[in-house]
């Protein structure tokens, strides 16, 4: 019995798939795109990175520096390529995106709007730097000094779900009239 190597998706199809995902999901980082592609077993990291590099070289995507890496976005040339060759995108990927697109967009938006970082100070305490970001602009920065890493990690983990509410509460408290 002869063992067949797994079928490898042709490079042009990989580029088209990445381009299609970016067009549907909107601008996203390498990590965000990888999470989507990997979770549904669409593509591995190396194939994705080669496809992104080729798409940037061809001017079909643009890469911009963000805090935690790079963000990729489809250009007009990329949109034109999708109009010409979009029918070649596998139907399974089209279905996958149509069923899950809104959830992934919401997840990506939340990840970019609420950011946190834990740093141990020279005194041995832990500072947690929280940020609320809207369209690449810091809406709020908050730094808390905490006694243990466990507490810092717990608050950092909760920040993603609570950042908007914290921001709203601070604004409300600072703008309410004193009686």
Question: Domains, the chain, ranges and CATH?
Answer: 11-89 (1.10.10.10), 113-175 (no CATH)
CB 72 within 8 A of CB 62: yes
Which pLDDT belongs to residue 105? Answer: 85
CB atoms under 10 Å from CB of 177, counted, come to 4
pTM for this model (two decimals): 0.65
Tokens of 99: 């069923």
Spatial CA neighbour of 47 closest among 6, 76, 95: 6
Q: Pinpoint the alpha helices (H) of the chain.
A: 11-25, 30-39, 45-57, 76-85, 91-113, 149-175
- Rounded to a whole number of angstroms, the CA Rg of the chain reads 21
State the number of CA atoms in the 13 A half-sphere of 120 facing the CB.
Answer: 4
**To the nearest whole percent, how much of the chain has pLDDT over 90?**
40
Which pLDDT belongs to residue 141? Answer: 87
The predicted model gives 140-152 an average pLDDT of: 91
CB atoms under 10 Å from CB of 28, counted, come to 24
> pLDDT tens digits, residue range 94-130?
999 999 988 888 777 766 666 778 888 899 899 988 8
């Amino acid at each position: 019995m002869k063992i067949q190597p797994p079928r490898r998706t042709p490079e042009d199809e990989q580029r088209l798939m990445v381009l299609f995902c970016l067009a549907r999901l909107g601008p996203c980082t390498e990590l965000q795109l990888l999470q989507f592609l990997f979770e549904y077993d669409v593509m591995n990291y190396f194939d994705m990175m080669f496809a992104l590099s080729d798409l940037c070289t061809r001017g079909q995507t643009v890469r911009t520096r963000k805090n935690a890496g790079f963000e990729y976005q489809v250009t007009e040339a990329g949109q034109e390529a999708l109009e010409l060759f979009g029918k070649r995108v596998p139907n399974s990927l089209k279905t996958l995106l149509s069923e899950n697109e809104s959830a992934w967009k919401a997840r990506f938006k939340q990840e970019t709007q609420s950011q946190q970082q834990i740093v141990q100070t020279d005194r041995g305490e832990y500072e947690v730097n929280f940020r609320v970001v809207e369209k690449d602009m810091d809406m709020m920065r908050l730094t808390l000094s905490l006694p243990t890493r466990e507490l810092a990690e717990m608050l950092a983990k909760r920040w993603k779900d609570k950042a908007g509410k914290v921001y709203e509460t601070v604004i409300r408290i600072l703008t309410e009239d004193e009686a």
